[in-house]
Structure 1
C-alpha cells in the first residue's frame, strides 16, 4: 500500500427482523364482531312490530343508573344537600322530586294517542283538495307541554287579513275541519297567537302586536267552536306578540305570524289550573299569606320608637 492512498471503509447496516405479534388479527376480530352485532340488531328490528320498537326506544331513553337502582337517588341529585336516604341509591328521601319527574313525563300511551291524532288530522287535510294546499303551512311536533300544531303565514297565502284578526276563508275551513278531531281526545287545548316585529304607527301605546296576537288567537278559538269544538276543552287563549321567534329566522319573517294549538298533557293542564300549588298535586306553596303575616316587625318598631324619642312624643311602655 502506498502511503498516499487512503483505506476504503465499507459500513454495512445490520437489519433485524422482529415479529409483529399478530396484533392486526385482534383488531380485525373486534371489527368483525362489532359488524356482526350491528347486522344482528338490524335484523331483529326489521322483524319487530311498531309496539316492540317503541318499547325498545323507551328502554334506551332511561338513564343507566336509574335502570340499575330502580329510581333516582341522592347520588344523581344536582343539589349538594343529600336527599335524606341513608343509602345513595335509596329513593325515599327524594320522594317529592321523583313524584314531580313522574308527573311531568307523559306516558307512552299519551304520546301514541297524540301521534294518532296527528295522523287523523293529516288524513283529513289530504282528503280535501282545497285544504291540501295548506299542508306546507302546518307543522306538528311533540313538546314538553303536549302536541303542538302550528299554522304559519306565507306572503302568498296569509291566514289573516293584514294587521287584522279577520280570518281568511281557507284558514276558517282548516280550523273547522280540525275541530271535531280535537274533540276525540279528552285533553285540554291551549291557543297562542304570534306576530312578526312589524309595529303599528302608534307603537305600544295603542293597538299593538300584543292586542293583534291575542285577537287572532281568540278569532281562531271562535272558528274552532263554530266547527264543533267543545268549549270546555279550551283552557288558555293568549297572545305573545313578536316575543317568540321561530328558530333560525328573522323576527320580520312571515313564518313568525302563526297560530299555535297545543293539545296539553293532562299533567300540564293540572299545573295550569293550580298555579299556587307545587307539583299540581295539592302541596301548598311554602310562601303563603300566613308567612307574610308572621314577618318580623321588630325593625319597624325600633324605627318608630327612635322617631318618637327624637320628637319627644314617646309613650311610656306597658
Structure 2
C-alpha cells in the first residue's frame, strides 16, 4: 500500500480568492442618461399641462392619441394630428416670454362627426336637404354682411355716415342698425318724420336687401326720455311709428310687403348703452334680415 501511494503524482490546485469585479464598460451611463432624459421630458409635460389653456391641452391630447400617428416609409416617423404644436401664448403667460416650439407640420384631423353625419344623411335624404339649405343660408348671411360693409366703403352717402351704421350677425340673422348721433338725428324731434339723409341711408340698405328672399323685421328704439305729463303719446307709439316710417322707405326700394315679418316699437326697453339711457345712439332703427332657408332648392332658382 505504501508503495502505490508513493507512485501517485502529487496534484497541486491553485484557488484564487474572489475580489472586486472587473471593468464592465459604460453601458450603465447610457441607461442612466436615458432615465434622466425621460424624467426631464415627464416633468416638462407636467409643466406644460399646468400652464397651457384648453386649446393647447386638446392639441396635446390629439398628439398623443395612438390613432393620430402613422408610419411613413422606412423612416418610421409618425405624423401628428392638428394641434400638435403648442400655442406660444400659453408659454408666454407662464414665463413672460414666448418660447417657440418646432416640430413637424400638423396634418388635418379627420372629421369623424362629419363622416358620421354624411352617412346618416345618405340614409335620410330629408336631413341632407336641410343641411344643404342651412349651409346655403349661412353663406348668404356672410355674403350679405360682406356686401353691406363693401357698400359702405363704396357709397359716398353711406361712407359719410358710416359711424351711424352698425352691422353684425346674430342667431336670428344679419342686423343693420342706424343710430342717431349728437347733433345728427334721423328723425325730427319727437316725431316719426325722417330727415332726407336718413331716407337716403335706408334706401341704400334697402337696395341691397331687396335682392334676397329672406324676410325682414324692423324695430324702433328710443332713448330714456319721456313726453310731458298727461300725454297720451309715449315712446312706445313713437318707436313703433318710426319703425313704420323705415318700413315705408324700404318698400319704396322694392322690398315686397310679404317680406316684412314684423314691425315693432321697443321704446327704451333695449338701450344700446344701458348705463347711459339718454345717449343719442340709443335712438335707432334696427333692420334684421332673418336667417331662414330659401323656399326652393338652389338648383331650382334659375
Q: Considering the TM-score relative to the shorter chain, is it more than 0.5?
A: yes
8 A contact 2:207–2:253 mirrored in 1: yes
**Offset from partner CA, 1:33-74 (integer Å, 9 cap, x none):** 8773557799779xxxxxxxxxx9xx79x8xxx98xx8xxxx
> What whole-Å deviation, never above 9, does each CA across 1:203-260 have from its counterpart, x for those lacking one?
6x51110111001000001111122222221121110101112255422221111111
Question: After superposition, what is the alpha-carbon deviation per residue over 1:159-180, rounded to whole angstroms, capped at 9, x for unaligned?
Answer: 1111111112111111111112
After the TM superposition, which residues 134-283 of structure 1 pair with which residues of structure 2 at under 5 Å, given as runs?
134-202=161-229, 205-246=231-272, 249-266=275-292
Post-superposition CA distance 1:82-102 (Å, at most 9, x none): xxxxxxxxxxxxxxxxx9xxx
Match of 1:310 in 2: none
Measure, in 2, the Cα distance between the counterparts of 1:130 and 1:260.
Answer: 19
5+ long unaligned stretches in structure 2: 1-31, 49-59, 64-82, 88-101, 121-126, 296-302
Using a 3 Å threshold, how does the CA distance of structure 1 residues 113 and 241 change in structure 2: closer, same or farther?
same
Match of 2:146 in 1: 119
TM-score, scaled relative to structure 2: 0.56
Relative to structure 1, the CA distance from residue 246 to residue 40 in structure 2 (aligned partners, 3 Å threshold; closer, same or farther) is farther
* Corresponding residue number in structure 1 for 2:41: 25
The 1:109–1:164 alpha-carbon spacing in structure 2 relative to 1, beyond 3 Å, is same
Cα 1:25–1:42 change in 2 (3 A) is closer
Distance 1:165 1:44, change over 3 A: farther
CA distance in structure 1 between the partners assigned to 2:214 and 2:149 by the alignment: 19
Aligned residue for 1:244, secondary structure, equals coil
Q: 1:35 to 1:181 in 2, by over 3 A?
A: same
1:130 and 2:154 correspond? no
- Partners of 1:162 and 1:168 in 2: how far apart? 10
Counterpart Cα distance in 2 of 1:114 and 1:108: 10
Alignment-derived partner of residue 85 in structure 2:
36
Q: Distance in 1 between matches of 2:196 and 2:264?
A: 23
| Residue correspondences, number | 205
CA 1:43–1:219: 2 relative to 1, 3 Å: farther
Relative distance call for 1:184 and 1:218 in structure 2 (3 A) is same
Is the partner of 2:262 in helix, strand or coil? Answer: strand
Post-superposition offset of 1:189: 0.6
Q: Distance in 1 between matches of 2:104 and 2:179?
A: 40
Which residue of 2 is the match for residue 309 of structure 1?
A: none
> After TM superposition, which residue ranges in structure 1, 4 or more long, deviate above 6 angstroms?
32-35, 39-45
Which one is further off, 24-33 or 214-223?
A: 24-33
Unaligned ranges ≥5, structure 1 = 1-18, 46-55, 71-98, 270-318
Q: CA offset at residue 125 of structure 1?
A: 2.5
44 and 142 in structure 1: CA distance in 2 versus 1, 3 angstrom threshold: farther
